[in-house]
Structure 1
Amino acid sequence: MKEDFLHYIWQHQYFSKTALATTCGEPLEVLRTGFYNTDAGSDFREAILRVGEVEWSGSVEVHLRASDWHRHNHQHDPKYDQVVLHVVWQADVPVLRTDGTMVPVLVLQNRVDLRLLQTYEQLQNSKNAIPCAPFWPSVPEITKVLMLERALVERLEEKGGEVLQVYRSYGNDWEQAAYQALLRGFGFKINQQPFEQLAKSLPFHVVRKHQHNLPQLEALLLGQAGFLADAKDEYAQQLQREYTFLQHKYKLEPLPRHHWNFLRMRPANFPTVRLAQLAGLLHQHPSLFTKILEKDTMKKYEQLFQAAVSGYWQKHYMFGREKKALAKGMGKSSAQNLVVNVAVPILAAYASHSGDRAYLDKAISLLEQLKEESNKYTRLYEELGWRAKSAADNQAALGLYKRYCHPVNCMRCAVGNKIMKNSPAL
């Protein structure tokens, strides 16, 4: 058993109230359970209880054993002096506040129907990738739909939070945050790590100074990525000369070339081509963050990420290696990938920062317009009869799996809650 089970039991009051009393024998009446707290501090805040003849307002702390109070050093933390009830499965020791006063204790061990505990343990001990798989068909469709919608919003807020962290770390600079999100997206999983290293080693304030000059941008990006060190053809040597000057000016340390992956990739996806596309995008859209906020159709977002590359890269996929059929810019599917992994998190971040839900709604709308892609996460739910219909569903399934199913966090999931509520004990 984990504490989340007791959180669930207390929050929903799924225990016997007959002759309810503390371990000291004082009559107990729950007037308000309190609000569940996911941050630091007590588990439930603003609870109202009547212990004996006195009405108390404060926090409720939940542990499996009363001795966990000491194990977590609450007896030395003044924040826990406001706890008016300690809810436990077993009361093995008395607990005291910092001033030495005793905290009232409620034991739930003999007040919870064992059938409810058995349902919980069946979920917790499940060998299925989706713990509730045996129960899934019995859960109403509306419950599953609403939970997936919640998982989608939580995932977007999490992704937006990563962008916000960069924004705050760099002096509240949205363009810097957009730059790092863009480079991370340009990695397309296979080269995500070196692109992230590139973003850190090539500061945006340097890039910003040269966005008006495409050759200088190419020199900075390709040189910093380590692709100009052994320049042989004339264009590469031209960029190398430019990069050498800029490298000394800004004291740049290039990445090792071997960090980049080329294996099992089509030439159009080579990191050299991606860097040329990135240079074209940064050159054409010096205020990328602003453009992401302003666009209002999927087509405009796709066009935003399909900026044309320079003439050299329309014919080459590596220095000195030509290919006649290369596109002038990024393909539609790759641009849509950047909509999902760059534009959507930025919109979610700004929605959180500004408090304007419209930007989050725009992010969700973009995902709903993009075709679904079956992956190992969506297939887990497809096996249970659910099918993704858009990229929004893909993100919802990923959020549900990573936040709830994989860590077996069933008590915080609406589907798990419904299964518990349908337990014979209730």
Structure 2
Amino acid sequence: MKEDFLHYLWKFKKFDALNLKTSSDQEITIINVGQYLQQAGPDFFNAQIIIGNQKWAGNVEIHLKSSDWYVHHHEKDTAYENVILHVVWEHDTEVFRKNNTEIPVLELKNYVEKEVLVNYQKLLTPKSWIFCEKQLQDFDDFVLKNWQERLFFERLERKSKAIYELLEQTNMDWEAVLFCMLAKNFGLNTNGETFFKVAKSISFTIIRKESFEVENLEALLFGKAALLDSEKEDAYFKDLKFRYFYLLHKYQLEPESEGQVQFFKHRPDNFPTIRLSQLAHLYHLHQNLFSKINNNFSIDTIYQLFQVSTSTYWETHYQFDKVSPKKLKKLSKSFVDLLLINTIIPIQFAYAKSLGKEIAEDLMTTLVSVAPERNSIIDKFSFFGIKANNSFETQSLLQLRNEYCSAGKCLECAIGTELLKKS
């Protein structure tokens, strides 16, 4: 048994609350279980309880055993001086305050029905993937939909933290933040971190100034990505390299590259050369991209903004010095969907939140119209009965798996708590 199960029992009063007595046989009446804040200090704050004929207001601490009070050294912590009730599963020792008064103890195991314990054991019995996998197929759809909405916004809140941190590093320049976040996602999983470092290493004021000449943007991005470090006979390579060193001198930039990009295991259209050229063209075409994105929530407008290709050279190349059949290499709709999910929606959410604006419905409407992501986690949920129809649902399921299922937080999950109620 885990302590969070006792938190669940107390929070939702899943025990015989009408006949409670302390370990010293005093009657207990719960007026308010308190606030479950999940922070440092007692587990539940500002509870109201009648013990015997005395009404108490204060905090409640919960442990598996009474002796855990001393194991966790609460007797030395002033934050626990206002504990009015010690709720435990097993009472094995008395606990005293600093003034030597005894803290009343409620031993919960005497008041919890066997059915609740059976459901808990059933839920927490190891399965092949997640604890509740066998019950998902028949789970209440209404509860699931409400829970998915909350999960979606939890995921956006988590992504927003990285955005706000980057905002401070870029002197509160939202255009610069968008550039860095887009660069990271243009690099996908393999080159994302390197692209991100490349974008951060170039002041966005330089990107703004040089955006009118796309070759200069390519030179900066390719140079910082160590793609111009060698010597080649290719005329375009030589031109970019000349431009790069000129720009380094012009803006007094450090010549060091930000890491080595990877070509291995990528489809040619995802080669770093192609993605960096597309990124350069995006900022060549749209000097105020952040403003354009945040002034319009139309998904069709977003798709139109990202109708970008590469420079002419890359229509017949994937790497320097190697000619390939001519192909117009535009950003695909599926790639723009990834940018929407991982960059544009989080940026829109964070920006609106910074202004105190409510755009929840707009963001959900956008992602509901985007095709569902395909990955092993979404495939597993589908196998066990929860099929995602759009990206709003896949984002919710990823949050569920990563932040709840993988962490064993079944008792903080709407699915887990609902299953515990079932007979």
- 1:413 Cα deviation from its structure 2 partner: 1.6
**In the alignment, is residue 59 of structure 1 matched against residue 59 of structure 2?**
yes
* Number of the residue aligned with 2:362: 362
- Deviations along 1:158-202, whole A, 9 cap, x unmatched? 223332232245443323322221122112223223223324444
The answer to whether the Cα contact below 8 Å between 1:9 and 1:15 also exists between their aligned partners in 2 is: yes
**In the alignment, is residue 350 of structure 1 matched against residue 346 of structure 2?**
no
- 1:72 Cα deviation from its structure 2 partner: 3.4
* Number of the residue aligned with 1:36: 36
One-letter code of the match for 2:243? E
The answer to whether the Cα contact below 8 Å between 2:378 and 2:397 also exists between their aligned partners in 1 is: yes
Q: Equivalent residue of 1:309, what SS? A: coil
Supply the distance in 1 between the matched residues of 2:179 and 2:76 (Cα, whole angstroms): 45
Supply the distance in 1 between the matched residues of 2:350 and 2:91 (Cα, whole angstroms): 45
One-letter code of the match for 1:65? K
- Deviations along 1:369-416, whole A, 9 cap, x unmatched? 111234322222222333211111211221222222233322112221
- 1:300 Cα deviation from its structure 2 partner: 1.2
The answer to whether the Cα contact below 8 Å between 2:119 and 2:422 also exists between their aligned partners in 1 is: no
* Number of the residue aligned with 1:129: 129
One-letter code of the match for 2:307? Q
Supply the distance in 2 between the matched residues of 1:15 and 1:219 (Cα, whole angstroms): 68
* Number of the residue aligned with 2:254: 251
Supply the distance in 2 between the matched residues of 1:206 and 1:69 (Cα, whole angstroms): 59
One-letter code of the match for 2:187? G
Higher mean C-alpha deviation, range 341-350 or range 98-107: 98-107
Report which structure shows greater RCO (CA 8 Å, sep ≥6). Answer: 1
Q: Equivalent residue of 2:416, what SS? A: helix
Q: How does 1:1-400 map to 2 (within 5 A)?
A: 1-17=1-17, 19-97=19-97, 102-204=102-204, 206-232=206-232, 233-247=234-248, 249-256=252-259, 259-327=260-328, 329-358=330-359, 360-400=360-400
Q: Equivalent residue of 1:109, what SS? A: helix
CA RMSD of aligned residues (A): 2.5
Supply the distance in 1 between the matched residues of 2:144 and 2:265 (Cα, whole angstroms): 39
Q: Equivalent residue of 1:380, what SS? A: helix
Aligned length: 420
- 1:7 Cα deviation from its structure 2 partner: 1.0
- 1:223 Cα deviation from its structure 2 partner: 0.1
TM-score by length of structure 1 reads 0.89
Judged with a 3 Å threshold, the aligned counterparts in structure 2 of structure 1 residues 166 and 62 are, in CA distance, closer, same or farther, namely: farther
The answer to whether the Cα contact below 8 Å between 2:43 and 2:59 also exists between their aligned partners in 1 is: yes
Judged with a 3 Å threshold, the aligned counterparts in structure 2 of structure 1 residues 163 and 361 are, in CA distance, closer, same or farther, namely: farther
- 1:213 Cα deviation from its structure 2 partner: 3.8
Supply the distance in 2 between the matched residues of 1:269 and 1:370 (Cα, whole angstroms): 21
- Deviations along 1:22-53, whole A, 9 cap, x unmatched? 33443321101122213333322232112233
The answer to whether the Cα contact below 8 Å between 2:134 and 2:384 also exists between their aligned partners in 1 is: no
One-letter code of the match for 1:370? V
- 1:96 Cα deviation from its structure 2 partner: 4.5
TM-score by length of structure 2 reads 0.90
- 1:210 Cα deviation from its structure 2 partner: 3.4
Higher mean C-alpha deviation, range 152-161 or range 7-16: 152-161
- 1:224 Cα deviation from its structure 2 partner: 0.3
Gaps of 5+ in 2: none
- Deviations along 1:189-229, whole A, 9 cap, x unmatched? 23223223324444545544533442222111100000011
Supply the distance in 2 between the matched residues of 1:205 and 1:73 (Cα, whole angstroms): 54
- Deviations along 1:79-126, whole A, 9 cap, x unmatched? 333333222212334444566654333221222123312221222122
Supply the distance in 2 between the matched residues of 1:69 and 1:252 (Cα, whole angstroms): 58
The answer to whether the Cα contact below 8 Å between 1:5 and 1:411 also exists between their aligned partners in 2 is: yes
One-letter code of the match for 2:376? K
Supply the distance in 1 between the matched residues of 2:414 and 2:285 (Cα, whole angstroms): 46
- Deviations along 1:321-359, whole A, 9 cap, x unmatched? 33343325322221222111110111222243333221x
* Percent of paired sites with the same residue: 35
Q: Equivalent residue of 2:62, what SS? A: strand
Supply the distance in 1 between the matched residues of 2:307 and 2:51 (Cα, whole angstroms): 67
Supply the distance in 1 between the matched residues of 2:74 and 2:209 (Cα, whole angstroms): 53
One-letter code of the match for 1:292? I
Supply the distance in 1 between the matched residues of 2:419 and 2:211 (Cα, whole angstroms): 56
- 1:152 Cα deviation from its structure 2 partner: 2.1
The answer to whether the Cα contact below 8 Å between 2:17 and 2:30 also exists between their aligned partners in 1 is: no
* Number of the residue aligned with 2:405: 405
The answer to whether the Cα contact below 8 Å between 1:78 and 1:98 also exists between their aligned partners in 2 is: no
